[in-house]
Homo-oligomer: A and B are copies of this chain.
């Protein structure tokens, strides 16, 4: 079956949960109202349904390949990327100063989801380019900006993030790649980077490697890391690519999923470039030894974007499973509603699986959309207080968007295979690809545990749980409104209240233990993340139910609004109910996590 972007659901979130009308009041976003959102999303859907989605299976069958240092991407990818660039999609959220369209993240994130649903492997190239643009916008010198930004924003060149080394994965303190200072202010970079997504490819005329390295004499650990621009081709005075720089792809990884996306091992400074002296030419971004700080700018954008990837692949898996369930005939329904064998969507457990996929996806999407709106306000709102509030809210939500949406994508893609039965395990069916592809999402740009550490440490313990408890108070306000509503509203309100209370217990536990007994606090970090994500996503479903009931009363979009109410109710009954178990495990089970001696494993 072909992919159909969930534009209606996205616009519902953008209009009612993210309140695009409020965003359009912010200077710079005046043209970014609901009409713009609709026009952009519809065009985005048309492009990706037609161009990138049909290449998804092909990418799995004919992954990128390396020969003599040259990476050839899946047939069709290069042309699709050219169309992507020409359509202006790379510049959607970037400043008009550099050729972008300056649209809010609230719209841009939805476009990102559509692109990722269509083709997760393809979408990684623009995703990383976005990160490189963010880093240069924030910390790049005027010269770096003028040389690189327009080309990146236009999709003419692409960007990468070069962090990981064999010994340095989550732990960047262990980075060894070194940068030698040259008299002309440039640097020469030497070292090996691994897991570099789109580190080498044939889809653009140049690649801009944002690279972490240590300048000689820098402090040890993360405080001695600097960020460099290392272009694949040095840029000539006229702005076009010139000599080949001394950075080369020496191998590609053989991965379980996202196979079309080349994952490169890059060698810096092997002396096989066209440069006069050894070392890859690099240009410092910002100041020396502040590289990690800048890299986090890219990484935070990327973390949010990877969360969106989770939603995207879950949506795609859901659509495929729902279509199969409506076609496949097998067995009689238990209620006798159909004589003889019926399509499997008539079976209660198939319905339960599809509803679980749907509810997880819609709730995570709603959470991500609200987070994007906070980002927009945090960055562009004229009132500093509003910016700060929104920044705090956004920062709390980033680990949830990344961690919860990607973990739920594993559940959704697993159910997607399961709905297909034996056919799901056969690669030709396509459901298995989503299962394989999704597994990277809980790992890259910081594993779920890394997100959870961020949530426990920086986002909860640091302010004694105040931000988290403030959020709980907002949720409680929604509960009260729900308690005065329909049967469905009351049922959702009840579950929301139970989950929120569980969350408050956990926040208090984490805030109290973080210093007193850090092992106990961190033992519950991932369950806490899952509880928080579940709650915040469920809260948005509660809000969505309220809106849908109001819209129904006005006679708007009846089928859609009824489906939203049903999905919200399902989420509350079947997913918010998970909160109490997580609470018990975190608050009462910390001791047994670390009780077994290391030698006994």
Q: Determine whether the beta carbon of B432 is less than 8 Å from that of A256.
A: yes
- List residues of chain B with CB within 8 A of the CB of A519: 334-335, 348
**Distance from A204 Cβ to chain B, minimum over Cβ atoms (Å):** 24
What are 10 inter-chain pairs, A to B, with CB distance below 8 A? A174-B330, A334-B521, A348-B519, A352-B526, A425-B439, A559-B600, A569-B592, A569-B595, A570-B595, A578-B581
- List residues of chain B with CB within 8 A of the CB of A424: 439, 443
Determine if A62 is an interface residue (Cβ-Cβ < 8 Å). Answer: no
Determine if A72 is an interface residue (Cβ-Cβ < 8 Å). Answer: no
Q: Interface-forming stretch among A46-54, A92-100, A165-173, A209-217? A: A165-173
Q: Determine whether the beta carbon of A169 is less than 8 Å from that of B256.
A: no
Q: Determine whether the beta carbon of A601 is less than 8 Å from that of B447.
A: no
Chain B residue, CB-CB nearest to A433? B256
**Distance from A345 Cβ to chain B, minimum over Cβ atoms (Å):** 6
Knowing A173-B341, A257-B425, A421-B170 are in contact, say whether A589-B567 is a contact too (CB < 8 A): no
Q: How many A residues face the partner with a CB closer than 8 A?
A: 95
Determine if A463 is an interface residue (Cβ-Cβ < 8 Å). Answer: no
Determine if A566 is an interface residue (Cβ-Cβ < 8 Å). Answer: yes
Residues of A101-144 contacting chain B, CB below 8 A: none
Bound complex: CA A453 to CA B331 (Å):
12
Q: Determine whether the beta carbon of A601 is less than 8 Å from that of B170.
A: no
Q: Determine whether the beta carbon of B577 is less than 8 Å from that of A589.
A: yes
Q: Determine whether the beta carbon of B435 is less than 8 Å from that of A596.
A: no
Copies of the protein in its oligomer? 2
Chain B residue, CB-CB nearest to A257? B425
Determine if A556 is an interface residue (Cβ-Cβ < 8 Å). Answer: no
Of the residues B322, B428, B580, B601, contact of A354 by C-beta under 8 Å: B601
Bound complex: CA A410 to CA B598 (Å):
24
Determine if A78 is an interface residue (Cβ-Cβ < 8 Å). Answer: no
**Chain A 314-338: CB-based contact to B (< 8 A → 1; otherwise 0):** 0000000010011001110011000
**Distance from A124 Cβ to chain B, minimum over Cβ atoms (Å):** 13
Knowing A174-B341, A334-B519, A574-B589 are in contact, say whether A425-B443 is a contact too (CB < 8 A): yes
Q: Determine whether the beta carbon of B417 is less than 8 Å from that of A439.
A: yes
- List residues of chain B with CB within 8 A of the CB of A474: none
Determine if A563 is an interface residue (Cβ-Cβ < 8 Å). Answer: yes
Q: Determine whether the beta carbon of A422 is less than 8 Å from that of B443.
A: yes
Q: Determine whether the beta carbon of B426 is less than 8 Å from that of A349.
A: no
Apart from the given pairs A254-B426, A347-B522, 18 other A-B contacts in the complex at a CB distance below 8 Å = A164-B422, A253-B426, A254-B427, A256-B417, A256-B427, A348-B519, A352-B526, A352-B593, A354-B601, A355-B596, A421-B443, A422-B444, A425-B440, A562-B600, A566-B592, A566-B600, A573-B585, A573-B588
